A = this chain, B = another copy of it.
Amino acid sequence: MAARTVKLAVIPGDGIGPEVVAEGLKVLATVAPAHDLALDTTEYELGAKRWHATGETLPDTVAAELREHEAIFLGAVGDPTVPSGVLERGLLLRLRFDFSHYVNLRPVRLYPGVHTPLGDVTPEDIDMLVVREGTEGPYAGMGGVLRKGTPGEIATQDSVNTRFGVERVVRYAFAKAAERPRHRLTLVHKDNVLTFAGELWQRVVREVGAEYPQVAVDYLHVDAATMFFVTQPRRFDVVVTDNLFGDIITDLGAAVAGGIGLAASGNINPERDFPSMFEPVHGSAPDIAGQGKADPTATILSAGLMLDHLGYADAARRIERAVGEDLQARAKDGLVRSTSEIGDDIARRVAEQG
């Protein structure tokens, strides 16, 4: 079989981004050939450095080039020398919005051997898939400021929720729940306070749910959900939620599943009208950048999600297995390794499965 070539845009970004991305690419380079996949990568320098040099976060010409790729592989974005929000909104969120990444897919899974801050849980207790909406809600950026700097100042933030936007992500979540063995879907919202948006989410879940009689549907207020994440994580299988609640509960999910160094994510456009984007949940961690201290595992697992999205499910499973083995080995030997040593070890394990 002739190798298929996938055009992959790589955005290493800021802080530890370049270090962890390098390890992700290392593992991809190991696994791809065995699956007749050739990756044609182009690196884009976007982030703090570019902003300081040119004032640009994402020039239209670059956005147009990115659009010509099948996927985007991103490290991290953000730096203390850039005002909060500039890179997040101008680059990361702009890509999510412009490329219609309405599914922000975030598995929360406790791998055997991994230390969790929770005292009484086992890997069987934590295995969920959070489907976070990625293109609307309070992330729409709507709102404004009136009478700034005066005693009468008002700042508003408007959460935008459309039938179109809610339905498409809810449909995706139900399809995932139907595929998974437990067939459970939990809507997380705050419908007793955010009554307008909450009623829409509830109604859409009810209507789409009617097409999935085999999926058991549950609802939790977001406040209660955070409680159950630490007291009864087992009650969650697929979770569907809005952009902001999803942001919050997936960081919490990462924490209970062993830390942000292991949490992967995909920003997915299921119709493939635009390139999907894969990135670790963690940020740029400027305090440890350049020291080889960052754990590249989250980025490597994100590469796995990318392969799955590109149609290479077997290759994706291989990465997951290799990571699982590496995490168990860590638990036993307790060795502290550098970023690239961890990448080497996972790449070796991937190769050994070949």
Binding site for B on A (CB under 8 A): 78, 84-85, 88-89, 93, 116-120, 138-139, 141, 143-145, 150-164, 190-200, 202, 222-224, 226-227, 229-231, 244, 247-252, 254-256, 259-260
Contacts and interface: CB of A to CB of B under 8 A. Distances in A.
A194 B144 CA distance: 10
A128 B21 CA distance: 38
Contacts of A161: 154-157
Contacts of A118: 117-119, 230
A23 to B, nearest CB: 23
A224 B251 contact: yes
A195 B89 contact: yes
10 interchain residue pairs of minimum CB distance: A119-B119, A223-B251, A153-B163, A227-B255, A226-B252, A155-B196, A157-B159, A88-B192, A155-B200, A85-B192
Contacts of A194: 138, 143, 157
B244 A227 contact: no
Given A85-B192, A163-B150, A196-B143, A248 B260 contact: no
Contacts of A255: 226-227, 230-231
Given A155-B162, A157-B158, 4 more contacts: A89-B195, A156-B161, A156-B197, A193-B247
Nearest to A259: B231
Contacts of A153: 162-163, 200
A108 to B, nearest CB: 12
| Most chain B Cβ neighbours within 10 Å, of A156, A160, A247 | A156
- Please tell me how many copies of the chain the complex holds: 2
B230 A256 contact: yes
Nearest to A245: B248
A266 B140 CA distance: 33
Contact of A227 (B119, B141, B157, B252): B252
B145 A159 contact: no
A44 to B, nearest CB: 21
A143 B159 contact: yes
A224 to B, nearest CB: 6
A144 to B, nearest CB: 6
B145 A158 contact: no
A161 B147 CA distance: 12
A136 to B, nearest CB: 10
B145 A196 contact: yes
Contacts of A157: 138, 158-159, 161, 194, 196-197
B231 A251 contact: no
A234 to B, nearest CB: 12
Contact of A164 (B117, B151, B156, B163): B151
A224 B152 CA distance: 31
A157 B242 CA distance: 12
A326 to B, nearest CB: 22
Contacts of A88: 192-193
A151 B203 CA distance: 13
9 contacts: A84-B191, A116-B119, A118-B230, A141-B195, A143-B159, A156-B160, A156-B196, A222-B247, A227-B254
